[in-house]
Amino acid sequence: MTNRILVVEDNDLNRKLFCDVLQASGFSVEPVSDGNLAIEAARAFDPNLVVMDIQLADVSGLDLIATLKHDADLASVPVLAVTAYAGKGDEERIRDSGAEGYLSKPVSIGPFMAAVRGLIAAGAAAAA
C-alpha cells in the first residue's frame, strides 16, 4: 500500500517542490495551501505523515500540530515541521507542540527524504 503524505505549505514553490519530490519517491501526496483546511484534509486523506509549514499566512502551524495531536483519529500521525524558524529554542518549541520531526528551510532533498522515510517507518512501527 502506498504511503500517503499531507503537505501543508502556503508557499506555491515550496509546496510544489515537496509534492514533486515525494511523488517521484512513490508517495501519494495531498497538497494543502490554506492552513484552515489542513485538519479537514487530514481527516479526508488519512495520511501516514503530515509535512507542516510553521509560518502559514492564516493560521499558526504550531496550533495546527496541537490540534492534530488532540484529535483521536489523527493523534498518531507523525508530523514533520518544516520552517524558516531556526533560532535558538525554535526546534524545542516546535517539538513541544507535538511535531516528531523538524527541518529548517532551506531544505535539502537528502535530509528531507531521510526525515520523511524515518517518520513513516516510526509511525508504521507504532501502529503495528
90-114 tens-digit pLDDT: 899 999 999 999 999 999 999 999 9
- In angstroms and rounded to an integer, the radius of gyration of the C-alpha atoms of the chain is 13
55-84 tens-digit pLDDT: 998 899 999 999 999 999 999 999 999 998
All domains in the chain, ordered by first residue: 4-127 (3.40.50.2300)
Burial of 28 per CB tally in 10 Å (0-12, 13-18, 19+): middle
Q: What's the pLDDT at 118?
A: 97
